[in-house]
Chain A
């Protein structure tokens, strides 16, 4: 019962986050969305993922977004009625809705073949994971299977993940650094 309630709350949060015009409120609701998702992860016994989602997904994403918002505008541009009724705007809305509905229908068609929720005989639960569940404690000495796979068997994967964060950090620094010295001849190439 609580699962269905949480899923309803999360759908409400998603709709609220995309429909609200104040971007700061939208970011707050996105944080709530992430936290409720962390609760659902806990209900589904994915405790490590819930930790990470609550700290990294809800915390850092909200902080980054509010930091970005402090350097841009807080309120979304309110289109007037005549601007919203323009054929080009209307066409764009209908086209995107059409694309989204088609994609959703294809995805629902794809779930017809999926194994049922919580099915112990699903191929994903039968093939590779029993080996890790049975052997990882003897091989690595770690009680938590997720940690054992993440840090031991797939240690290089985690190294790659660190590389991704490092690259993203360098990108952000390069994009946001200030040009002070050559401020005058920055536009030298454009001016004739």
Chain B
């Protein structure tokens, strides 16, 4: 029991990060709405950023900026990685949203179920059209 309390006390940041990640992952898998999926991906990404920043913290450390009175600094390297990652996450979000707009233009819905239903309908129609074409051709011959 004491072990569990000590674990939660010393690592509560990581536990919160895992909880947020799982919320994002669940939304990405289970939600049927495409924009909701993008929101889930965003929550997942931002929680990963928090994980890196929490790893960089040092007890009683100051921000990694040169200062006369500083005794110990936080680790600057995860900060650098995450600065890059934030920008990359925004680029992926932009591309995902552009794809969603194109899907909406094509199917007039952003719900997965309706998209799949419409795709099946289209396939059936194309098969029917092809059969009709074959019959026409055989008649011509």
Contact = CB atoms under 8 A, between A and B. Distances in A.
Contact of A108 (B18, B63, B102): B18
A85 interface: no
Nearest to B77: A129
Given A18-B40, A73-B110, A168 B54 contact: no
Interface string B101-141: 11010000111011000000000001001100100000000
A17 B33 contact: no
Given A11-B19, A111-B11, A118-B58, A125 B75 contact: yes
Contacts of B36: 18, 23, 26, 76
Contacts of A120: 58-59, 61, 72
B2 to A, nearest CB: 15
B79 A146 contact: yes
Contacts of B72: 120
Given A23-B33, A149-B76, A149-B80, A41 B53 contact: yes
Contacts of A175: 95, 98-99, 101-102
Contacts of A124: 55-56, 75, 77-78
Interface centre among B16, B32, B59 (most CB of A within 10 A): B16
A190 B130 CA distance: 11
Interface residues of A, number: 87
Interface in A77-132: 77, 92-93, 96-97, 99-101, 103-104, 107-108, 111-112, 114, 116-120, 122, 124-125, 128-129, 132
A167 to B, nearest CB: 8
Contacts of A108: 15, 18
Contacts of B54: 44, 117
B43 A18 contact: yes
B8 to A, nearest CB: 11
Interface centre among A40, A100, A120, A169 (most CB of B within 10 A): A100
A49 B11 contact: no
A93 B95 contact: no
Contacts of B84: 150, 157-158, 161
Interface of B: 7, 10-16, 18-27, 29-33, 35-36, 38-40, 42-43, 46-47, 49-50, 53-59, 61-66, 72-80, 82-84, 86-95, 97-102, 104, 109-111, 113-114, 126, 129-130, 133
8 contacts: A26-B36, A30-B43, A33-B46, A45-B61, A76-B111, A133-B73, A146-B80, A171-B95
